Structure 1
Amino acid sequence: MSPASASADKTERLLNLILALKSARRPVSKQKIRESLPAYAAATSDEAFDRMFERDKDELREMGIPISTTVIDVLFDDEVGYRIDSSETTLPAISFEPDEVAALALAARAWSTASISGAASAGLRKLRLAGVEIDESVAAGAEPRIRTKEPAFEAVHAAVSALQPITFDYRRNDGELSTRHVQPWALKNWHGRWYLTAFDVDRGDERAFRLSRFEGTVRRKGRPGSYAVPSDHVPEVALEAQPPEPVGTAVIRVRHGRGHTLRRNASRTTELDERWAEIEVPYQRGTTERDVVALGTHAVAVSPAELVTGVRAALQAVADAHGGNADAATHSDATGGPA
């Protein structure tokens, strides 16, 4: 079992124990707890169950969750029951400042449609059948879930948790579709969008993928726990290196034989004459300006106005530094390449 999977199982086991003890109106015997909760019922021996249960009790108490122990029958003082008193775990009324309310509202967007998990529900049902009175209101909303509009989210999240390689079809900024084989490292919400950081097996390097660009089904491609995430991996670093999102279309004129980087991303190319061509590319603020400026007199920005202004400002800065002017730097005597 992978470390991530073991941690998830332990978290679910502790949560189910809390629900069982907090939902019961009277103390519950250790035997009924074992019979009712799947993780304890799966214990291979009485000793294994006792060790697991005692460890879990100690951990919950260290977390500040009070578990009371009560003799169930005065005639048999060796049989005790366990319970978590709701009144001892209920917070007093709290007031918030407007900015705190706004932060809570944002957090709530990621915790919508909470429901009790299947394992916990089954455990409470067994306790009820065993004659334990259950308070259903305590269990409401015990399993938070994150809802997203990206169809790939659940499959990718499962792969990240299980450390399991996956393969998927991915559409790049330029619209090209390719199949990627990766080892998922982390899921991160970055500027309102979900991204996967991963090791790209084919390219032999770290990459970041925007979930909304996944096409079709995410396929598992290897065993869970078959790799490890680098201890120094910081998702934000990989996402900072992501190229900016396109904000429209840029029209640029380039000399023949020049601007291969721009031409690769062109959605349309029109030959103007024997020396110039006009191309349309996705406009990425900063990046497109940089690519045009790098070509010097071999490229001319046509639109949008923001691109033209940015290119002219960058060239003017270069011209000022060398005692010239941007108009001279961008002027062309070709009929297809306007100044």
Structure 2
Amino acid sequence: MHGILGAVTDTAARLLQLLALLQTRREWSGPELAQRLGVTVRTVRRDIERLRELDYPVRSGLGAVGGYRLESGAALPPLLLDDEEAVAITLGLRNAALGGVAGSEESAARALVKLQQVLPDRLRRRVDAVQTSTVDLAGPPAGPQVDPETLVALAACARDHERIRFSYRDKDDAESRRLVEPHSLVSAGRRWYLVAWDVDRSDWRTFRVDRITSTLPVGVRFPPRELPDADPAAFVTRSLARARPVQHVELLVHASAAELADRFRVRTAEVEPLDDHTCLLRTTADSLEWTALRIAHLDLPFEVRHPPEMSTHLRTLATKLLRAAGDSS
């Protein structure tokens, strides 16, 4: 019995090694694979067939020697990463989840949860070392900083329907301990928000993730609850509207709607085409100063329709930039 289990284990390990080799370069010959694996060419052929039975699209080349290539298929196969690749991808996902890539934050957070769940401790330490010892020339992301480990812990508990405790600091800097059933993480503007059922208050709450510390999953599972809104983004939008006055901004932009939509990727933005070269941009913001900075980066001609205060903020920004450039006129 032990011999049978050993043979099965050896075969499984060899298949993983074979898959890893196929992912490292475009094509391998049968003899090359046999030499790397320490088996015969015939064994390589059998292992290739086993991979195909597992839905890995391995294509055979023509000729006496034969060649094997792992091609793209309908589904994404598991990727086998070495230590350096795992560290690089984790760092990239952290940056994307924290706002490094506009529009990809939530997808990056989900992928980061999956990767960090299986990342060995030695690689976690390497990732943390690189993260803390590097500086982005573009400067820190606009908005409050979020701890990646906090983001991962919240996302994992939301995925697994597991209650979690954490310390929360409100807008008045008062700290409290919360026990919640996390539903979703929402990236809105410059911030991350957690939508969760507050167990002690028996109600839905929105928490700013940058104000959350000392997370502790408690190991208690819960049945998913139905949100009072159509989706988490709508719930966060409504919660923020109640919490503070929202500024409505309208611009006349001299560009096509498609070009503007590609450059101004904000969840609350609405683009209305007027003709092939002009459109209206309507958006909401909690900070006109930040919105002025954002629209200044559009690199498209525009005019402020509403509110008048936006023009004031743009003039202030222009004055600061001219002064910084040495133009005092």
What TM-score, normalized by structure 2, do the two folds share?
0.36
Higher-Rg member (1/2):
1
Considering fraction of residues, name the structure with more helix.
Answer: 2
Q: Greater RCO between the two (CA within 8 Å, min separation 6)? A: 1
What TM-score, normalized by structure 1, do the two folds share?
0.36
